[in-house]
Structure 1
Amino acid sequence: MGRDRSSNAVREDEDLGDLLQELRVLLPGVQTLTAFLIILPFNGGFSQIARSEQWVYVATFVCSLSSLILFTAPAAQHRLERPLRDRVHFKHEATRLIIIGLVPLSVALILATHLVVSEVVGSRPALFVAALVTVAIGTTWWMIPLVHRATRKPPTRDSNDRLHIS
């Protein structure tokens, strides 16, 4: 019985470590995007872009900032709740926040693509390139993982209680 608790605790620690590593990958990109968006309106040429593009900028900034807030929430919560009494619950909540944060990040990347391409080569090519980015993000971030999740077989255990994932 003690061995089961120990192996479950190790698994939960590994899962939490994986989650933290995923955040380490996501955060620098979101921070960089948000930082660039923060300084953009202070650039001399910003006031010259079309009013509609300024609204695209606002939506992009709000989405980027929202994803940054959602991605950093687990760290803030972890620090304020220390010591964690229920690591499993914390891991599930952190996972939920990260997945929710991917939604505004997806939108921010699509809108940022539109904003940049529109400024460089015009609105029509911007719509096309933004559509390509939408398909790329939709496929790689959302469809593929959800299809894998829906079609994978549940893990099994051997006679030594080792987990096997097929």
Structure 2
Amino acid sequence: MRQEPQHTGRDESEEERADRMWGELIQEVRVAQTGVQILFGFLLTVVFQPKYARLPDADQVIYIVTVVLGACATGALIGPVSLHRLVAGRRVKPRAVRLAARMTFVGLVLLLATMASSLLLILRVATHDAYVPWLVAAVVVWYLVCWYGLPLWARRRHAGSDD
């Protein structure tokens, strides 16, 4: 008795897949974009606070690094929107989706670094305690588990699946 081939995955063309993946990517970027823009906006106001001038040099350097990281994260997470706008109608959507996905991944890495350095600065100013780097490291490990570890584990666990 002959067995029917099992249907796995979606029955879609490369263009249909690119359309679907673009929609999913933009939804994901909206979440990250909002977070990074709010964080970046708050970071931009810190330098105008009277207490900023009294910060030790090390904390001012952490602040500058944090602002630059936030600016880079913002650029990487807004990049897919600009990419889509500039290549729309040029029949390059599958390639554009792959490039936008890479920009989004880089943006998320930069967002993680921005959040970690923001947390380091805030906790250093708020507590001046020696446990601050350990606390920040624990939060970074948590981010790594949530943002990369669990998704990679799920991908690996279902590696036999299509897509």
Q: Same fold (TM over 0.5)?
A: yes
Match of 1:114 among 89, 111, 120: 120
Aligned length: 154
Match of 1:36 among 42, 48, 55: 42
Q: CA RMSD in A?
A: 2.0
Query: Is the 8 Å Cα contact of residues 77 and 107 (structure 2) preserved in structure 1?
Result: yes
Query: Is the 8 Å Cα contact of residues 32 and 108 (structure 2) preserved in structure 1?
Result: no
Match of 1:138 among 140, 144, 153: 144
Query: Is the 8 Å Cα contact of residues 83 and 100 (structure 2) preserved in structure 1?
Result: no
Cα distance in 2, alignment partners of residues 155 and 125 from structure 1:
44
Q: Is residue 129 of structure 1 aligned with residue 147 of structure 2? A: no
Tell me the residue number matched to 1:68.
Answer: 74
Tell me the residue number matched to 1:159.
Answer: none
Match of 1:150 among 112, 136, 156: 156
Larger mean Cα displacement after TM superposition, 96-105 or 75-84: 75-84
Structure with larger RCO (C-alpha < 8 A, sep 6+): 2
Cα distance in 2, alignment partners of residues 123 and 105 from structure 1:
25
Cα distance in 2, alignment partners of residues 151 and 6 from structure 1:
24
Q: Which 5+ residue runs of structure 1 have no aligned equivalent?
A: 157-166
Tell me the residue number matched to 2:53.
Answer: 47
1:24 alignment partner AA: R
Pairing of 1:5-24 with structure 2 (within 5 A):
7-24=13-30
Query: Is the 8 Å Cα contact of residues 117 and 125 (structure 1) preserved in structure 2?
Result: no
Cα offset, 1:49, TM superposition: 1.1
Query: Is the 8 Å Cα contact of residues 25 and 101 (structure 2) preserved in structure 1?
Result: yes
1:58 alignment partner AA: I
1:32 alignment partner AA: I
1:108-154 C-alpha deviation (Å, 9 max, x unpaired): 11110111111111142321221111111111112222232233233
Cα offset, 1:5, TM superposition: 8.3
Distance 1:6 1:147, change over 3 A: closer
